[in-house]
Amino acid sequence: MTGAASHKTFRTAIVPAAGLGTRFLPTTKAVPKELLPVVDTPGIELVADEAAQAGASRMIVVTSPGKESVVSYFQRQPELEATLERKGKTALLEKVRRAPGLLDVEVAIQEEALGLGHAVAQAEPNLTDDDSAVAVLLPDDLVLPVGVLSRMADVRARQGGSVLCAFDIPKEQISPYGVFDVSETDEQDVKRVHGMVEKPAPEDAPSTFAAAGRYLLDRAVFDALRRITPGSGGELQLTDAVALLIKEGHPVHIVVHRGGRHDLGNPGGFLRAAVDFALEDPDYGPALRSWLAERIETDRS
């Protein structure tokens, strides 16, 4: 399905960016992790671009007091643009204009980091009658190649309800994830979800399909978010709201994404993403590749 077709399924993307970013301390004392650059572009712009490509026309960024720069990043900078234009720096000008031109950006504030479910709930007042479903994209989770959201929109158009993204993870590596209990549908890589188990031991995992940071949620999720109580870590969990919807018979499916993924939320994952993207970059890739090869060779000797 094309972006234009999925546009009918959802037009609003919610991007929660109000977390404390503790895994990235001390940097996150002053710099939101969502703005850390993957080569030269913040993760949140990559995710906004993904949402726009899937047909979203607006993005509600949920942020917290003190993290307003996450939203400022999407505002135009006329003076900077004029300076770059005067100096003939057209490539840079294009980069500077890219984020504000992707989609309309609105802000919702989460006063306290009370969990992902709570963060998503803060975006509800921004919704209109047209928003029968919303996409939620976690800005610290890069799902590659982009395109899974359009497939998820396609599944919602046919099956109704909510659609989540999953990765097929080797059983012995499944423990850190939320794992789906599923049954097959007649479509390859689309499964019906019956439940979810958070962080199971490999022998208790109901499948090898683990949750990723992409959700296409029926608006009913906001009602469910009002009815759940704090779960693990005293936080309102988005997956608890989805579990409630499943329990009440609301259809929930997963699309199994056969691709790669980077977790930008911790230094190790972030570095991998930066190296991965830099190696593909025409400006930085060739020099980085030969330096890395030399560096690893020195390590061996």
Nearest-approach distance from CB 146 to ligand UTP, in angstroms: 18
Find the shortest distance in angstroms from Cβ 233 to ligand UTP.
9
Q: Which two tokens stand for residue 268?
A: 């190790």
For residue 214, the minimal CB distance to ligand UTP (Å) is 12
**Across-strand partners of 194?**
none
The whole-angstrom separation of Cα 141 and Cα 263 is 5
79 and 123 in contact (C-beta within 8 Å)? no
Nearer to ligand UTP, 100 or 230 (CB): 230
User: Which residue, 16 or 42, is less far from ligand UTP as judged by CB?
Assistant: 16
The nearer residue to ligand UTP, 29 or 258, going by C-beta atoms, is 29
- CA atoms of 276 and 288, how far apart (whole Å): 11
Strand 41-42 versus strand 58-63 pairing type: unpaired
Choose between 55 and 139: whose C-beta lies nearer to ligand UTP.
Answer: 139
- Least distance CB 202 / ligand UTP (angstroms): 23
Q: What residue ranges bind ligand UTP (CB under 6 A)?
A: 16-23, 62, 110, 113-116, 118-119, 138-140, 265
d(CA 45, CA 50): 9
Give the residue with the Cβ less far from ligand UTP, 142 or 243: 142
CB-based contacts of 239: which residues, under 8 Å, 6+ apart? 117, 178, 196, 198, 211
Indicate the residue among 1 and 137 with the shorter CB distance to ligand UTP.
137
Q: Nearer to ligand UTP by C-beta: 117 or 161?
A: 117
